[in-house]
Amino acid sequence: MAAGDVTLDANTPTIIGNRWLLTGTVELTDVETACALAGTCCTLLSVQLVDEDGVGSASVELNQDADGTATNGTMSAFCNSKTAQTFRFEAQYIM
């Protein structure tokens, strides 16, 4: 897989109260990459990332693309590795 590739878990998204929960994996490198997680009608409220290898860390900006342009449903992220690392994510959003 390449940086920015998103794979959604089966049976996702789910509804928790008035929020939607989306889970899956995303590939990240040290180059900031935009990843569309939901449609542009959705506002991301939070995204948690955990490196599947347990050694990486990542930085995330919500509702913006890699150029910093406001884009609902998109996260801009990068990690501390030059090679692609797989991160599990849990994203909450509203429509």
What local confidence, expressed as pLDDT, does residue 56 receive? 85
Return d(Cα 70, Cα 68) in angstroms, integer: 6
Per-residue tokens: 81: 């590795």
Cα dihedral: 72, 54, 52, 79 (round 10): 40
Quick check: 1 pLDDT over 80?
no
* Fold of domain 6-94: Immunoglobulin-like (2.60.40)
Return d(Cα 77, Cα 58) in angstroms, integer: 7
> Hey, where are the domains in the chain?
6-94
For residue range 29-87, what is the model confidence (pLDDT) as tens digits? 999 999 999 999 999 999 999 999 877 899 999 999 888 899 999 999 999 988 889 99
Return d(Cα 36, Cα 28) in angstroms, integer: 13
pTM equals: 0.89
pLDDT band at 21 (very low <50, low <70, confident <90, very high): very high
